[in-house]
């Protein structure tokens, strides 16, 4: 039987209360793209999409991989 994978969750305090993020979404919020696997076509497409999104959100902020 295969186990389901659940990414770690982080909880952040905001003026509106607590907010939970999966760790990868939280890193992306800080312009960090996490690569935890070998790069194939689908991983490359996801990374390019994340880079384009981050660039459109703030073109002056560095992106870390």
Count: domains in the chain: 1
Closest to 55 (Cα-Cα) out of 64, 47, 63: 63
With tokens 């880079």, the residue in question is 51
- 28 falls within a domain: yes
Domain carrying residue 37: 9-57
pLDDT in tens, 25-60: 999 999 999 999 999 999 999 999 999 999 999 999
- 13 falls within a domain: yes
Q: What angle do CA 52, 29, 43 make, to 5 degrees?
A: 50
Q: What is the CA radius of gyration of the chain?
A: 14
- Per-residue confidence band for 1, with pLDDT thresholds at 50, 70 and 90: low
Spatial separation of the C-alpha atoms in residues 35 and 65, rounded to whole Å: 7
Spatial separation of the C-alpha atoms in residues 23 and 3, rounded to whole Å: 19
- 62 falls within a domain: no
- Per-residue confidence band for 4, with pLDDT thresholds at 50, 70 and 90: confident
């Amino acid at each position: 039987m295969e186990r389901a994978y659940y990414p770690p969750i982080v909880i952040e305090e905001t003026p509106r209360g607590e907010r939970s993020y999966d760790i990868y979404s939280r890193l992306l919020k800080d312009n960090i793209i996490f690569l935890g696997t070998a790069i194939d076509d689908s991983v490359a497409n996801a990374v390019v999409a994340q880079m384009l999104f981050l660039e459109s959100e703030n073109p002056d902020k560095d992106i870390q991989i």
